[in-house]
Structure 1
Amino acid sequence: MPELPEVETVRRGLEPQICGRRIVGVICRVPRLRLPLDPQLEMLLGGQVIHAISRRAKYLLFKLDKGTLLLHLGMSGVLRLVKSEAPIAKHDHVDLRLDDGQLLRFNDTRRFGLLLYLQGDPNLHSLLQHLGPEPLETDLPEDYLFTRSRKRNLAIKNFIMDQKVLVGVGNIYASEALFAAGIDPRRKAGRIKRQESITLLRCIQAILAEAIIAGGTTLKDFRQSDGRPGYFKQQLQVYGRKGMGCLQCDGTIQQVTLGQRSTYFCENCQG
């Protein structure tokens, strides 16, 4: 699933190309993605100008004249700008026709993405209302994770992936941040010491920032908005490296399942 850096990469790639453009038509080739598509979507969006693209967690928010288009890439979603005559590929489910002749095309193999038109404050929508803070917020207290983790018995990896605690930290970057912080992903969140939690938050922030600069992580289903893959995969220290040598010591990378997700760590470095 595209994580925060991948979604932010898409946002940064699209914003300078489509902001100021007017939506002149909408083509929906399927009735639903994860949720049903509004049958009135063309009428609702037609004629509206895209003023800005922001991100909340892993959601993209297209600010329009009268509302907000909320989009989630799901597990396999891809957004691309294509020419109007571009051939339609399998799983090209939605096109937004723009006034410069281009199409903003949403392809989603597994149909776990979503596309909703919202009026009013989008942050009050049920999908966004209860989300935790952004990990890259500059005013996030350094002991935020320590405060939130007291008396929590779940594994620290599952804790930092809880979107009500901190948004956008998915499976890949959770494993990487815990390795960088030297914390065993299986430890109970409530047993993490204050300084450890401060270090972990700093590692989360640093790794996400590095991944955004690098263009996201190259995964099977993810491509940047211009079709190029992301480049952070070459820097991964533990994720996907089961049985391989640790890059920091002479240990071997282990894999366990936490919260039904594969988790990678080095027992030597993360004692």
Structure 2
Amino acid sequence: MPELPEVETIKRDLEKNIIGHKVIDVWYDWAKTLKPDPETFEKAVVGKKFKDINRRAKLFIFHLDSVPMVVHLKMTGRLLYRDQSDPKDQFTHAIFKLDKGKELRFADLRKFGWLKVLKDEKELENLLSEFGPEPLTEEFTLKVFENIIKKSQLKIKPLLIDQKRIAGVGNIYADESLWCAKIHPETKADKILSDQVAKLYKCIEEVLKEGIKDRGTSVDQYLDLFGRKGSHEQNLKVFRLNGDPCPRCGTIIKKIRVGGRGTHVCPACQRL
């Protein structure tokens, strides 16, 4: 699933390319992609212009004139900015046909992603209120992070990827952050020492910044707005590297399951 760095990469490219475009028509072949339903969706967006684009956690937040629209890529979704004459993209299920001969395509292998128009700003506010504080923002201070950690008896890996507690971090960057901080993914959150919490806070922000710098991680289906892979896979330390030596100590990286998720850990650096 695209995480904060991947969604942020696409969002920054959308800012440069989509703002000001007018929606001429909407095509779809999978009705569940457009919410609350295709008829309402089309009526809300056709004839409107993309006014702005923001991001919260893994959500894209668009305004088409005054109409708020949110997009979630879920596991395998892609947003692709194309010329109308470009070849078809595989697994495309919705297309914004734009002015100036352009298209914004939504492709999704597993069909879990969606685009949704909202009634008003109040509905948008309610949706965004479900997320916890987000790394790389002013609200995500060390004190806030410490409070989240110390008040939970969850294992640290499931806590980090719980979007209601911390927004934007998923499987990839949780594993990378925990390796960076030398914390085992099964460690109970409230048992982590204060200096380790501070180290983990710093590691989370560092690995997310590195992911953004590399334009995301393409270990699965992720592509950027132009259909290109990110390069952060080359800089991963443990994620999907089970069987390889740890780049810090040389011990073989193992894959375990924590909270139902495949998790990658160095048994020597990250002792339980």
TM-score for the superposition, normalised by structure 2:
0.94
Structure 1 residues 17-68: Cα deviation after superposition (integer angstroms, max 9, x where no partner)? 1101111211122211396643232221112111111101100011221221
Structure 1 contact 178–184 (Cα < 8 Å) conserved: yes
Shift >6 Å, 4+ stretches? none
SS in 2 for 1:197: helix
Structure 1 residues 185-205: Cα deviation after superposition (integer angstroms, max 9, x where no partner)? 110011012221121111101
- The aligned runs of 1:72-221 (5 Å cut-off) are 72-121=72-121, 122-126=123-127, 128-221=128-221
Asked if 1:23 is matched to 2:20, the reply is no
CA RMSD of aligned residues (A): 1.6
| Corresponding residue of 1:224 | 224
Structure 2 contact 217–233 (Cα < 8 Å) conserved: yes
**C-alpha separation between the residues in 2 aligned to 1:75 and 1:250?**
32
What fraction of aligned residue pairs are identical, expressed as a percent? 36
The amino acid across from 2:190 in the alignment is: G
When the two structures are aligned, how many residues end up with a matched partner? 270
| Corresponding residue of 1:54 | 54
The amino acid across from 1:49 in the alignment is: K
SS in 1 for 2:53: strand
**C-alpha separation between the residues in 1 aligned to 2:34 and 2:242?**
32
**C-alpha separation between the residues in 2 aligned to 1:66 and 1:31?**
24
TM-score for the superposition, normalised by structure 1:
0.94
**C-alpha separation between the residues in 2 aligned to 1:165 and 1:213?**
25
| Corresponding residue of 1:40 | 40
Listed as ranges, the gaps of 5+ residues in structure 2 are none
Structure 1 residues 160-212: Cα deviation after superposition (integer angstroms, max 9, x where no partner)? 11111111110010000001011111100110122211211111011101100
Greater helix percent: which structure? 2
The amino acid across from 2:119 in the alignment is: Q
SS in 1 for 2:179: helix
- The aligned runs of 1:225-264 (5 Å cut-off) are 225-264=225-264
The amino acid across from 2:32 in the alignment is: R
The amino acid across from 2:75 in the alignment is: M
Shift of 1:251: 1.3
Listed as ranges, the gaps of 5+ residues in structure 1 are none
Structure 1 contact 33–113 (Cα < 8 Å) conserved: yes
**C-alpha separation between the residues in 1 aligned to 2:89 and 2:3?**
24
**C-alpha separation between the residues in 2 aligned to 1:165 and 1:49?**
34
**C-alpha separation between the residues in 1 aligned to 2:19 and 2:10?**
14
Q: Structure 1 270/180 Cα, relative in aligned 2: closer, same or farther at 3 Å?
A: same
